[in-house]
Structure 1
Amino acid sequence: MNYRRTGHAKYATLVSLALALTLTACTPSSPEPGGAPTERPAASPQEVLAETVAEVDVPVADAAPVAPTPAAEPAPLVIPEPAVVPVVAQPVSEAPAPAPTVTVEPAPAVTAPPTEPVVTPITPLEPSTPHVSPNYPEIGTYTFPDGHISFEVPTGWGMQAEVPVVAPGDDYPYDDHFAIAHIFDENGHNVVDITSGGVGGVVAGPVNRTILDSQKLSSFDSRDGASYFAVFRDDYPFEPAETRYFVGLVPETLMTEGPDSTSAASFLIMGNGATTAHVNIDPFMTQEAAEAWMQSGQYSKLKGLLTSLRYAQ
């Protein structure tokens, strides 16, 4: 027969042993015969434990079924939660936004009126030769030294004559009676140059001409016919195209308009050589500037001066 020591049997045995030890310690030992009573020393716990104790075994077949002690459930495994480290948001320095692109519109072109050339005022002088008109300069008439051509100087303006000195043997393209008259306005600007007694010629090219103003001279015909005061706007067929203005005296052959014209130059073949008379202007001025200037008092005086040219004899 198989026996199985149960937990309850073990526990009952231990309790019985403990109770027996307690009673033994409290009960006096019986005296041995013929002698003094002998006390049995109390057994030490080690001795009690060393004694063979009959365990109460209960046959497995006869033992009452003992409910198995439920196994202790393991303590739940506590996993510590990870420490929460506070995240401090550091401000992130953002790259500065690019400056907005500003499109600068080019300033509109401003066409400034042409500035007049700055000329140091020159005090009017007597002609450089002794031959002058008898009433010069009281009535403003000037006659060239050879006595061939005269003109009127506007009131308040001045004139200076120049007679180039030609040394013997010099190759000089003028006759010996050649002279230049420089006319100055009230501000001292050299506005007109008139020559007399010249030689040579000019070269012309094709232009598209517009005549802005003109007047025929009453007593100053050249070899080629009548002479004219004229204001031209000539468009030159260059690459790129170019526009030039001209103001002066021209022969009748240049008084044409349109693309079949030839470039302007003041060159009048007279009885005593060639004569030229032109106004010193900016030839590249704008049309607006030209139109405004032609309304000025200066233009009126210039036109009166040039249309006054005539033969003195």
Structure 2
Amino acid sequence: MICARRVPFIAALAIAAALGLAGCGAAVPEASSGGASPSGTGTPSEPAGPTSAPATAGPTTSGARPPSSAPVSAGVATYTFPDGRLSFKYPAGWRVELFTGAGQPTLSRTATVFDAGGTEQVTVYSGQVADAVSHRVSRTVFESEPVPGLSRQIAPAASYSFYVERMDGSATYRMDLTPGVPAAGDGTRIDGIIQIGDEVLVAEVRFIEKPFASDAAAKLWLAGAEGQALKALLLSISYS
């Protein structure tokens, strides 16, 4: 996981910063598709699209991130947060668990997405607080695209981004939502905090430590089924 010195972050609407995505709260498992969901929790929908021809789990080129233990399904399902406003699509056959923070009403909600093999792949958080970090890095951006479903939120508009940040000879690969397009070269580490309404949103792929041996290996993984599935998930995030 990414470790860094943490400093306070204040959102544009004076949202104080102090959250840990896995803080105190209740975990509510969600079915990957179909079936009834527990009362008061987010809602997964029926999968859409063909499911008869699963893709492979990505390249196995030496140095690439180890692929998922399960194939990526060709179908998709939709997960909607309890507020009915924030949602995203994910591969059919994967599952989503919702974690809620303490307090009534709760100040935080984290949807954790697991693949069919049980590997944690993505976390999508919304709430009134969020962590921020600050340090100097050298950044290489592989690609970045605006997220259509977040285009109406407060600028800078949210983008899906895949990039690497280097500090003191160590490389940290990241795929997450960023406020605008990340700037290449030397700069400050990006705080992937997006403002939605009067709350904040943080969505990121949960890479293991040192997932790729090189930038070339990272690009190979991105072009594979798993990389494309995770990219599509982040680009599908929507808030209405």
What TM-score, normalized by structure 1, do the two folds share?
0.51
Native 8 Å contact 1:192 1:279 kept in 2: yes
Q: Is the 8 A contact 2:101 2:107 kept in 1?
A: no
Counterpart of 2:45 (choices 136, 142, 147) is 136
Q: CA deviation at 1:290?
A: 1.6
| Identical residues among aligned pairs (%) | 24
Matched residue type, 1:269: Q
The equivalent position to 1:220 in structure 2, one of 141, 150, 173, is 150
Contact 1:234 1:245 in 2 (8 A): yes
Provide Cα deviations, 1:118-143, integer angstroms capped at 9, x if missing partner: xxxxx85365543545x724441111
* Corresponding position of 1:153: 90
Question: Which residue pairs with 2:100 in the alignment?
Answer: 163
Cα offsets for 1:272-304 (capped at 9, x unmatched): 411110001135232143233212211111111
2:38, 2:189 → 1: CA distance? 34
DSSP 3-state at the match of 1:181: strand
Unaligned runs of 5+ in 2: 1-28, 49-76
Matched ranges for 1:190-229 at <5 A: 190-221=120-151, 222-229=153-160
Aligned partner letter, 2:82: P
Whose radius of gyration is greater, 1 or 2? Answer: 1
Aligned to 1:301: 229
Deviations 1:7-41 (A, max 9, x none): xxxxxxxxxxxxxxxxxxxxxxxxxxxxxxxxxxx
Contact residue 193 and residue 277 of structure 1 kept, 8 A: yes
Q: Conserved in 1, the CA contact under 8 Å of 2:139 and 2:164? A: yes
Contact 1:246 1:283 in 2 (8 A): no
Q: Structure 2 vs 1, CA of residues 200 and 276 (structure 1 numbering), >3 Å: closer, same or farther?
A: closer
In structure 1, the partner of 2:15 is none
Matches within 5 A, 1:1-313: 124-125=30-31, 129-133=39-43, 136-139=45-48, 140-166=77-103, 176-221=106-151, 222-236=153-167, 238=168, 241-252=169-180, 255-259=182-186, 261-284=187-210, 285-287=212-214, 288-311=216-239, 313=240
Letter of the 1:235 partner, please give it: R
CA-based RMSD of the aligned residues comes to 2.5
The 2-side partners of 1:185 and 1:289 are apart by: 21
CA distance in 2, matches of 1:181, 1:231: 20
Q: Which has the larger strand fraction?
A: 2
Give the count of matched residue pairs.
Answer: 178
Instruction: Tell me if the contact between 1:246 and 1:264 (Cα under 8 Å) persists in the aligned partners.
Output: no
**Distance change (3 Å), C-alpha of 1:162 and 1:127:** farther
Which amino acid is the alignment partner of residue 202 of structure 1? A
SS in 1 for 2:178: strand
Compute the displacement of 1:224 (Å).
3.2
For the residues of structure 1 that align with 2:209 and 2:143, how far apart are their CA atoms? 16
Amino acid at match of 2:231: K
Aligned-partner residue type, residue 298 of structure 1: E
**Within 2, Cα distance between the matches of 1:269 and 1:227?**
9
Distance (whole Å) between structure 2 residues aligned to residue 217 and residue 279 of structure 1: 15
Whole-angstrom CA distance in 1 between matches of 2:232 and 2:122: 12
Label 1:185 to 1:200 Cα distance change in 2 as closer, same or farther (>3 A). Answer: closer
Is the alpha carbon distance of 1:282 and 1:289 closer, same or farther for their aligned partners in structure 2, counting shifts above 3 Å?
Answer: farther
The higher-RCO structure (CA 8 Å, 6+ apart) is: 2
Q: When you count helix as a share of all residues, which structure comes out higher? A: 1
Structure 1 counterpart of 2:12: none
